Amino acid sequence: MSTVALLLASASILLLGALLVLAGSGQRRRAGWMSVTFMGGVAILLWIVAVRTFRGGPDPEVTLLWVPGLQAGLTVAVDELSALFLAIAATIGFVTTLFAVEYLDRYPRDTVAKYYPVLLVLFLGIVGVVSVADFFFFLVFWEIMTLTSYFLVVFEGENQESQKAGLKYFVMNQGATLGMLAAALVLWREGGSFHFDDMRMAFQTLLGREPALAHLTLLLFFLGFATKAGILPMGSWLPDAYPAAPTSATAAFAGAMSKLGIYGLVRVFLTLLPLSGSMVAWGWIIAVAGTVSLFVGTLTALKQDDAKRLMAFHVVGQVGYMFLGVGVGLVLLPRNPLLGSLAVTAGLFHLLNNALYKTSLFLGAGAVHLRTGTRSLNGLGGLGRAMPWTAGAALASSLAIAGVPPLNGFASKRLLYGTGILGGEGAPFLVVLILVAMFISLVTLASFLKYYGSAYLGPPRELGAEVKEACFAMLFPQWILVGGCVLFGLFPWIPLSAIQSGVAEVLAPGSGQPFGGVLATDLGLHPTVGLTLGGAGLALWAPLPITLTFLALTGAVYLGLQRAGGAKTREVPIWVCGEQEAPEALRYFAGSFYLPFKHAFQGLYPSFRVHPVPFPAVLRRALNPDGWLYLPLARWMERVSRTVARSHVGVPQVYLLWIVLGAVGVVAVILLALG
Amino acid sequence: MLTVLLVLLLAVPVTGAVLSGVLRPGATRAVAVATALITALLASWGVLAVYPQAYQAALGSLPWLPGGSGDGVFGFLLDPLASVLLLVVTLIGFLTILFSTSYLTEKNRDHAVGPQDQGRYYFWLLAFLASMVGVATAPNFLQLFVFWELTTVCSWALISFYRSEESLKAGFKAILMTHAGGVFFLLALLVLFAFTGSFGFDALGRLDPGVRGWVFFFLMVAAWAKAAQVPFHTWLPDAMAAPTPVSAYLHAASMVKAGVFLMARTVSSGWDVPAPWGLVLGAMALVTMLVALSFYFVQDDLKRLLAYSTIAHLGYVLLGVALGAMGSVVGFRGGVLHILCHGFGKATLFLAVGAVAYVTGTRSISALGGVARSMPLTATAYFVGLLAVTGIPPFACFWSKFMILAGALEIPAPLGPAILILILGESLVAFGWMFFVGQKVFLGLRTPAAQVNSDPPLAMSAALVLLMLGCLLAPLAGIPLVRLLGG
């Protein structure tokens, strides 16, 4: 089957599935399993598309639908970059749906008819966005995505907070989309079509003739994608909306939907911009925006005590790394195409990794929320005993997001830092940005130590009923993702070669173009990953041998120490200064972590309220002509008619008088006219 | 054959109207629904049969009107533009009447209507349907004018249907203001006939540019009054005193569209409207959109809010038409497509609000909250209508708005981009506010007024479902039709 056929099949399954689930939503569990089945089928199809594309290159594009008069067509074109996102969407879609089956029991008052059908259509939007080569339909799918995700954010009925967050989300994203629409229209006027290729030509003509307008269109695209991805300050909807949605949906947003902001950024900026000074300038803007976002987002995350809000701020922070990668890539591409495309690859690799561990983290927090009924880290503790499997997944994902080797977060951050620092030779400021990113890596670690420590470690809290371990359908998704984290950490060249071919395809479509071949051979993608520039190997990293050695060494030291000490493992009550205290008195609350940091970065995260502008009363009156024009006019007419009516008195003599007067008048006029 | 069909299109609703007036109350509803359905089917058939050509038929002329255009004074014209309006009028007309059969009963908690008033209601509604068919298929300005004034009369009767003090006043205001506009129409007719001896649409092109401009201006004033544009925008919100199906049909989907249809006819008759007048039309459309927007924020009655939104969207149509007058065919097509798309979207919104009022007995935004929990179908309809009207893809108005935007960019800078920015700004604010209200009324905490049992009865629900489908599918019918406009 061709790519188009597979995608059409997926789309039909998603749409029909949505209708079927809607019809069968009376039984919650049945609707859930139906959705899992549909999503699983779609995931398989999308994976086939992805693997086919990575193996055999992109299928020729096919136009399915043509909008007459607008020169817009539903053109399906899946290249390696699209295939990467299809694979991510397939995986995340399946695992988050599986998770939702039991998780949605948290909301007994809300029907699942508001969840599964909407979720299926959301993934239709996601698949559509990455599969089209026409900006008109890109926007159509983009809006379907925004629309459906809004309804997932406000899923919990009668929750005013989620309504507020949902409205903020929708309005901000709608504004951003309208901006992109305007930008697309400008290029459409120039090139006469919405196809990416035509828009590229149109943009380059425009850049030569009216550079200001060309850069304005890019700015609108940048704002649009940054808003969706959650880059601050445009992404300030994110920390409100993510916690408001059911966690299974939040995980899908974090894993798949917000990633499309990066997809759009890479697709548009790499397609439109020629290798020139403009590209460098935009690279700096994107890199700095990313750095600001990762700095502010992660430091604000450090202050959060609500598990989901903490993670939502980390989404803002993490997306900063991806922007940084893309930005560094754009800065370096004109000067050093190899290094530049590697930086973009690093950004996208980080995106892939982030999809894995961030989704897993959200799902873990959701499992804890379902079992304990709280998201507040101050109210949690010691869950490691009751929920060991959830705790294990949370630990692995926390370490991955913090960039601890040998997990995948380290692999992508390392590549990003490596390219940035190597590129810093000609652009020293890049090194500053990279240093900030490195520092923030530590902050991430600190933040997740707090999360893990206060939720899973320590003495258990009194949480009412006995807390049970999450069920298999909730654990399996987390562990699948953790498996991916480990796999990509130990064997980074598997995803890297795929991503790299995607970047090469966008930069130079078709084979035999400038970078395609060069990248694949020079990178030396073999057990050691590294850059070989000019014959010298740089930034080498061989995950598997190093990890195995490290494990063997620590194991040996641990065993050796235990044997030498001859100590037995025993459990004792906690005591302080020789006194035994109640566990509550000794607890180190989540809110007490990192107080100096909290004080130092007090007003870091901007918060502002929109106040309604009073509408001037004078203008209000002026805009309503009833008051000053029509009603006075009508009253005046009424008065005139009353005055005239006074002549009708009902006395025959008076009427006769009128007749005589009238006759005299007529005669007078005739005489005057004659005379 | 087609002529017979077109005559039937007029005759069937008229017959239905007369029957509704004389039959006993029980049979009235069945007759009304049947005639509306037949009319809708005939209209769809006619549109399909004619597509993609235009069909013109002359039926006769008046001996005492000397000159004439040679084609006669009476006849039919079914071209793509007429098809668009005809589809709106007949399809939404049928759905409105279907909705009304359940809405106008004694069970209505907002406004109970007894059996004795049914006949009067369906008589005027079907008479209105016939007049709108006449407006859509008119082959010249004279016939258009005749049916135009008939719609005004029907509108007056239907606004005053409840015969309360408020509705009588509103009906009187509406007929005064729209008829004042009609006088300008008459003036335009007289000038046109005096100079060319014809009422034909093409006669406009035979006038000197100066006179043509003035005729266009008179027609424009008539259209403004009919379509409730600034400065005649004050009658439409008061007309919300009418029963909700009437508001949905007359004052959102069809009668007010007659005004913008007239402008579309005029502009497309020869594409030679003097440029400054096109500019005036566009500027007033933008002013109307923004003025209407400014009234959104102070409304507490859902229907009045929708009325202001209607005013703004008629502004969109006129803006598209004005873009056509300024030389952008895409913009013109977008404007005409908006007639269809907005018709379905706004009718859905009104009828959803009507369903809420039917069940809860109130339309007050502040009194309602959390309605979705007990009325999921109605809530879905409201949101679908909302998304359709505010132009979120894949729903209807996205396509028409997009074409208007594209048309705006075809106008040279700085005018085109300025229009683009204003439209986008209006879109975003309107979208935000309407969504805010939707959230307040349908989601959120359930207020005492919203403690009700269920969605409305079957006929109303069915109409809502069909309208929702229309919100999604209208562009599929509309785009092939508007593509034929302007060559």
Q: What is the mean pLDDT of residues A432-459?
A: 92
C-alpha–C-alpha distance, residues B133 and B9, integer Å? 7
- Residue A534 is predicted with a pLDDT of 46
Band (pLDDT 50/70/90 cuts) for residue A441 is very high
DSSP string, B37-83: HHHHHHHHHHHHHHTTS-EEEEEE--TTS-S--SS-SEEEEE-HHHH
Nearest-by-Cβ selection for A163 from B444, B479, B483: B444
Please report which helix (H) or strand (E) contains residue A298, including its range. helix A277-302
What rounded mean pLDDT belongs to chain A?
88
Q: What is the pLDDT of residues B211-238, one digit of tens each?
A: 999 999 999 999 999 999 999 999 999 9
Question: What pLDDT does residue A525 have?
Answer: 43
Residue A466 — pLDDT band, cuts 50, 70, 90? confident
The type of residue at A675 is G
Give the C-alpha separation, B382 to B443, whole Å.
Answer: 11
Tokens of A95: 């695992």
Distances (CA, A) of A191 to A200, A222, A626: 9, 20, 48
Tokens of A650: 């009902």
Q: B396-410 and B376-390 are packed helices; what angle lies between their axes, rounded to 10 degrees?
A: 10
The percentage of chain A sitting over the pLDDT mark of 70, rounded to a whole number, equals 94
A546 touches chain B (CB under 8 A): no
Interface test with A, best of B234, B380, B404, B410 (most A CBs within 10 A): B234
Helix axes B118-137, B141-159, angle to 10 degrees: 160
| Segment A337-357, tens digit of pLDDT | 888 888 999 999 999 999 999
What is the tens place of the pLDDT at every residue in B39-49? 999 999 999 99
Assess A630–B contact: CB distance below 8 Å, yes or no.
yes
**A378 at B interface, C-beta within 8 A:** no
Do B185 and B218 form a contact (C-beta atoms < 8 A)? yes
DSSP label of B456: P
pLDDT of residue B413: 79
* Least confident window among A204-213, A504-513, A666-675: A504-513
Say how many CB pairs under 8 Å bridge A and B: 101
Q: Could you tell me which of B120, B93, B110 has the C-alpha nearest to residue B25?
A: B120
**Across A322-331, average pLDDT:** 95
Q: Do A147 and B392 touch (CB under 8 A)?
A: yes
Which residues in A lie closer than 8 A to residue B427 (C-beta atoms)?
Answer: 178
Residue B242 has pLDDT above 90, yes or no: yes
| Interface contact flag, B444 A188, Cβ < 8 Å | no
CB atoms within 10 A of CB B356: 28
In which band, very low, low, confident or very high, does the pLDDT at A541 lie, cut at 50, 70 and 90? low
The answer, yes or no, to whether residue B271 has pLDDT greater than 80, is yes
SS3 state of residue B445: coil
**Which is more confidently placed, B400 or A508?**
B400
d(CA A368, CA A384): 11
Q: What would the mean pLDDT of B88-100 be, rounded to a whole number?
A: 96
Find the helix packing angle between A135-153 and B396-410, rounded to 10°: 140
Summarised one tens digit per residue, pLDDT across range B114-134 is 888 889 999 999 999 999 999
What is the helix, strand, coil percentage profile of chain B, to 5? 75, 5, 20
pLDDT band at B66 (very low <50, low <70, confident <90, very high): low
Say how far apart CA A302 and CA A447 lie, in whole Å: 5
Q: Which residue has the higher pLDDT, A509 or B205?
A: B205
pLDDT of residue A464: 55
Check residue B72 and give its pLDDT.
65
Residues 6+ apart with CB under 8 A from A604: A296, A299, A300
Q: Which of B85, B162, B178, B75 is nearest to B124 (CA)?
A: B162
Structure confidence at residue A233 (pLDDT): 83
Q: Quick check: A167 and B333 CB within 8 A?
A: no
B358 phi and psi angles, rounded to 5 deg: -60, -45
- Distance, in Å, from the CA atom of B367 to the CA atom of B219, rounded to the nearest integer, reads 42
Report which secondary-structure segment, H or E, holds B293: helix B275-296
Q: In which band, very low, low, confident or very high, does the pLDDT at A507 lie, cut at 50, 70 and 90?
A: confident
Q: How confident is the model at residue A574 (pLDDT cuts 50, 70, 90)?
A: confident
CA distance A36 to A92: 12
- For residue range B325-366, list pLDDT tens digits in order: 998 999 999 999 999 999 999 999 999 999 999 999 999 999
Flag if B428 and A174 touch (Cβ within 8 Å): yes
Model pLDDT for residues A1-45, shown as the tens digit of each residue: 799 999 999 999 999 999 999 998 889 999 999 999 999 999 999
CB B110 within 8 A of CB B357: yes
> Any idea what DSSP says for residue A426?
T
Judged against a pLDDT cut of 90, whether residue B374 lies above it is answered with: no
**Each residue of A118-172: pLDDT tens digit?**
999 999 999 999 999 999 999 999 999 999 999 999 998 778 889 999 999 999 9
Q: What is the pLDDT of residue A378?
A: 86
If you write DSSP's letter for every residue of B120-185 in order, what string do you get? HHHHHHHHHHHHHHHHHH-SBHHHHHHHHHHHHHHHHHHHTTT--HHHHHHHHHHHHHHHHHHHHH
Q: What is the mean pLDDT of residues B273-285?
A: 92
The residues with which B60 forms a beta bridge, in sequence order, are B74
Residue ranges of A 125-144 with Cβ closer than 8 A to chain B: 136, 139-140, 143-144
Query: Torsion angle of alpha carbons B264, B270, B275, B277, nearest 10°?
Result: -50
Whether ipTM > 0.90 holds is: yes
Share of chain B above pLDDT 70, in %: 98
Residue A75's φ and ψ, nearest 5 degrees, are -95, 115
Give the bridge partners for A72, in sequence order: A67
CB B308 within 8 A of CB B240: no
Quote the Cα angle for A452-A458-A459, to 5°.
140
**pLDDT surpassing 90 at residue B272:** no
Which amino acid does the sequence have at B219? L
